[in-house]
Amino acid sequence: MKKYECSPCAYIYDPEVGDPDGGIAPGTPFEDIPDDWVCPVCGLGKDMFEVVE
């Protein structure tokens, strides 16, 4: 699964880890995260994330 980076703050969403504090279980692909989820570091939305190559 692809990792995604929050452009402004450089937080990396790793699907293998998820975001347990944000209610996202490990193994959840970025595409399956609810649209109202926000970056746990800076609070910006999913639209600020880009695929990490």
Residues of each annotated binding site for Fe cation: 6, 9, 39, 42
Cα 12–34–13 angle (5° rounding)?
Answer: 10
Which residues contribute to the annotated binding site?
6, 9, 39, 42
